[in-house]
Structure 1
Amino acid sequence: MLLQEQAATIYQAHDVESVTFLQALVNEPSNFRLECERLALNVLLKPIYGCRAGKIQDSLVKELYDIWEMMYLYFLPWTFPFDNFPSLLALPKILQPWDWLTRSLLRQEELIHARLLGGVKASMETGEGSPCMAKTLIESDILGHVLGLKINCTDDGKLNKQGEERNLTDVLAMILGAGADTISSTLLNFFKAMALHHNAMASSQAEIDAVVGPSRLPAWGDMDDLPYTKALIKEVHRWAPIATIGTSIWIIIININTLDIRVKGIQS
């Protein structure tokens, strides 16, 4: 319900965020990485929590991306010794430093989302605030009834207050985490691609100038009239995909094993 195509039109705030992003790049081009991360967060914060991260919320941007960076750094396969020695997981929790790290990161992320969810609830009490996923979930109680979740339920099968909020934050945190880092990484890859391929950037700019003109920025309605630029955006996704690292690693391993078998066969 939250992620259907027709629901996306309710939350579409990309045009405003794009203008803000471009203004920030003009004023402070050296902060392009932070601005990419802020844009990605805002594109999702608006539909998820009905708010955005401005300059005074730089700490929010940094906190979230620091947590995700730690997760990626430490939770890749074979990062911890128990990947090679599973018996280590039988040790008491106090002797498992990775358990401390996991709990700490989860707690930090939960506190951030609890603050954001608190803002939504406060705006609902005053009758203010824009439509957002958090508000939809609270009003429909979809987590407690439609999905039939049984996490943190009381004896009569109803969610207690703490369990209900935990389910809310878990779902919303998953959507935010899955989208923000991929969007910002794709933007950074776009900058890299344009720095390496000036001709592609020049061709796209020429198309935009011819179709859109100098007096405004491209909008969603211009998409069908900008085939080269549309193809360029798709090529950035193909050229530097975000979510295929694990697949690539396994392909490399399979190829190495195959090569080893072939070499041994030739030697024999």
Structure 2
Amino acid sequence: MSWVVDSRIAVFLPVSLITISLISRLLKKNGSGQLLPPGPPQLPVVGNALAMDSKEPWNTYVEWGAKYGDLFYVRFFNQDVVVINSEKIARDLLEKRSSNYSSRPFIATRVPFGWGNHFAFTPYGNEWRLARRLFHQSFRADSALNFRPMQIRKTHQLLTNLLETPQNHMAHMGAFAASVIMSATYDYDMGPDDGSFLRIVEKALSGLRYMTPETTVVLSAFPFLLSLPAWFPGASMKRSAINSLKYLNEMTETPLRYVEKSIAAGTAGPSMVLDLMKRREQEQPDRVAEFDHALRGVSLASFVGGAETTGSVLLYFVLAMVLHSHVQERARAEIDAVVGKDRLPDFDDQPSLPYIEAIAREVVRWQPIVPLGVAHATTDSDIYEGYYIPKGATVVANAWAMSRNETLYPNASQFIPERFLDDKGQLVDPESPSFSFGFGRRICPGRHVGEASVWAVISSALAVFEFSKAKDAEGKDIDFVPTSTVGLTRHPDPFPCRITPRPGIDAEKLARLMDSTIA
């Protein structure tokens, strides 16, 4: 197992605090006489913390779920944690009882690392409701349609980049995701000269790995550790927090200053932030500070959510195509039959391309980008199926376990888009697997824009390119075992591949195809 806190810090943990923690836990009663959900045996003080793989806790939760059921209880030091491995139970609690399950647990790193006003991590209350309302105005389903012409243009730029430098496909996918959300949020058109900003973004987003209950169990039990001076032996987390706060502030403020300058120059185009800044002018003076705080939290959440998750989904798409050539063949046959070879797919074609939609759904099911979602917390105690769920408990919806449900998804570890189609080749469900976007009032509000970006890239990339394994010096396929970098989110590590244009497609042909496509 891996720890977020430098192991040397254990030397400085006061014995008295451990003793107090143990005594308070032993004396704690649930107050109802009800039974907690079943779960693995616990050690004194630390509970189940030492038995969990903090790098990939979803795998540990799958193992425990197989033994104790789809709803089970664990404890990390003094924190009650209820884990849900079933989509049905998640809906029963997080959606049908959303008024009690819509808050967030205490994460000791949230404020020190700069994520204090990111509304995805904000506890349920007035601050969160204001931010959610502001976000929803720009990214709800009907409003998201306004971004589609821009998404097609950005997709075409991505195709050009892949044609010119296919070896840089990982950077191109990340730049596409960032460019789409920068346009939607700030009307900022990212270009080749924005590499320095993308490096700031990369450094800022690295702090997301410290934003889960599992990776901060020690800090959540002993938050004073983050108050130690940066020079203190073992205080590497404090130094990480200082850097994270710096880069997050820069990532948040730089594009906001761009919008302010554009407004002053009269050149600001439509964007979420422009709409919010106009609305701010209508706020009462005593509410401007609150509104500004929400505006920053919403813009940060928009950019982080769009750039981090969409880019990772697209990289897993490339990985899936490299490993499954037969999927590409069927997809291209569908595209050629519906769209033809004289233009590229656009959103009007989407209802007529069910296999492309099935590929998009299978990518997010096969490799959940946020395998544990963002943890919920109860605002009051509850009883479910006879089990007591404490007030203030952390509630984890294990999307990874849901994606591996063999009853719903036979051979779940395999990439099989056909699972979403009926015998006639039509979609069997009108929506993507819901666990990919969270549950209840905390469901991802930007999912409509993200899904559209993924569909645009998948359909267009398969119309233009072939994906295959890279070759060695003797012309043989280079086999590899895919691995991922994990934290709050997952993304694939670099893997060898070849991206080549389909026969007859060169730069001139691609330009004609793009010119013939509605944007």
Fold match (TM-score > 0.5): yes
Alignment match, 1:82: 218
Using structure 2 for the length normalisation, give the TM-score.
Answer: 0.42
Alignment match, 1:15: 152
Distance change (3 Å), C-alpha of 1:115 and 1:218: same
The structure with the greater share of residues assigned to helix is 1
**Kept in 1: contact 2:371–2:400 (CA 8 A):** no
Report Cα offsets for 1:1-23 as digits up to 9, x if no partner.
Answer: 12222221333311000000011
Q: Aligned ranges for residues 125-136 of structure 1 at < 5 Å?
A: 125-136=264-275
Report Cα offsets for 1:159-211 as digits up to 9, x if no partner.
Answer: 45xx7654422220011111211100000000011111110111001110111
Distance change (3 Å), C-alpha of 1:232 and 1:123: same
- Runs of at least 4 residues off by over 6 Å: none
Alignment match, 2:256: 117
**Kept in 1: contact 2:268–2:274 (CA 8 A):** no
Alignment match, 2:201: 64
Distance change (3 Å), C-alpha of 1:249 and 1:186: closer
Whole-angstrom CA distance in 2 between matches of 1:43 and 1:91: 36
Distance change (3 Å), C-alpha of 1:114 and 1:92: closer
Give how far 1:213 is off: 1.1
Q: Aligned ranges for residues 168-179 of structure 1 at < 5 Å?
A: 168-179=295-306
**Kept in 2: contact 1:186–1:242 (CA 8 A):** yes
Between 1:62-71 and 1:226-235, the stretch displaced more is 62-71
Secondary structure in 1 aligned to 2:190?
Answer: coil
Whole-angstrom CA distance in 2 between matches of 1:90 and 1:101: 13
Alignment match, 2:360: 233
Q: Among 276, 280, 286, which residue is 1:157 paired with?
A: 286
Secondary structure in 2 aligned to 1:2?
Answer: helix
The letter for the 2-side match of 1:110 is: N
**Kept in 2: contact 1:44–1:179 (CA 8 A):** yes
**Kept in 2: contact 1:82–1:89 (CA 8 A):** no
Distance change (3 Å), C-alpha of 1:225 and 1:67: same
**Kept in 2: contact 1:48–1:133 (CA 8 A):** yes
Report Cα offsets for 1:230-253 as digits up to 9, x if no partner.
Answer: 11111111111112246549969x
Distance change (3 Å), C-alpha of 1:135 and 1:210: same
Whole-angstrom CA distance in 1 between matches of 2:401 and 2:361: 23
Distance change (3 Å), C-alpha of 1:169 and 1:88: closer
Give how far 1:71 is off: 2.7
Whole-angstrom CA distance in 2 between matches of 1:128 and 1:204: 42
**Kept in 2: contact 1:143–1:167 (CA 8 A):** no
Alignment match, 1:31: 168
Q: Among 119, 138, 144, which residue is 2:277 paired with?
A: 138
Whole-angstrom CA distance in 1 between matches of 2:206 and 2:245: 13
Is 1:180–2:180 an aligned residue pair? no
Structure 1 vs Structure 2: percent identity of aligned residues? 25
Q: Among 211, 218, 232, which residue is 2:345 paired with?
A: 218
Whole-angstrom CA distance in 1 between matches of 2:241 and 2:164: 38
Using structure 1 for the length normalisation, give the TM-score.
Answer: 0.79
The letter for the 2-side match of 1:157 is: D
The letter for the 2-side match of 1:202 is: E
Aligned length: 238
Secondary structure in 2 aligned to 1:237?
Answer: helix
Report Cα offsets for 1:131-150 as digits up to 9, x if no partner.
Answer: 001101100018966xxxxx
Distance change (3 Å), C-alpha of 1:215 and 1:99: same
Whole-angstrom CA distance in 2 between matches of 1:201 and 1:90: 51
**Kept in 2: contact 1:80–1:98 (CA 8 A):** no
The letter for the 1-side match of 2:224 is: L
Whole-angstrom CA distance in 2 between matches of 1:65 and 1:218: 31
Distance change (3 Å), C-alpha of 1:109 and 1:167: same
The letter for the 2-side match of 1:169 is: R
Q: Aligned ranges for residues 170-209 of structure 1 at < 5 Å?
A: 170-209=297-336
Alignment match, 1:49: 186
Distance change (3 Å), C-alpha of 1:236 and 1:142: farther
Query: Using CA pairs below 8 Å that are at least 6 residues apart, which structure has the higher relative contact order?
Result: 2
Alignment match, 1:256: none
Whole-angstrom CA distance in 1 between matches of 2:176 and 2:299: 18
Whole-angstrom CA distance in 1 between matches of 2:324 and 2:281: 47
Q: Which runs of 5+ in 2 are unaligned?
A: 1-136, 374-396, 403-519
Give how far 1:38 is off: 0.5
Distance change (3 Å), C-alpha of 1:90 and 1:61: closer
Whole-angstrom CA distance in 2 between matches of 1:206 and 1:91: 56
Distance change (3 Å), C-alpha of 1:249 and 1:126: closer
Whole-angstrom CA distance in 2 between matches of 1:142 and 1:179: 27
The letter for the 1-side match of 2:176 is: L
The structure with the greater share of residues assigned to strand is 2
Q: Which runs of 5+ in 1 are unaligned?
A: 146-155, 253-268
Alignment match, 1:5: 141
Between 1:92-101 and 1:34-43, the stretch displaced more is 92-101
Whole-angstrom CA distance in 1 between matches of 2:226 and 2:366: 44
Between 1:31-40 and 1:225-234, the stretch displaced more is 225-234
The letter for the 2-side match of 1:129 is: A
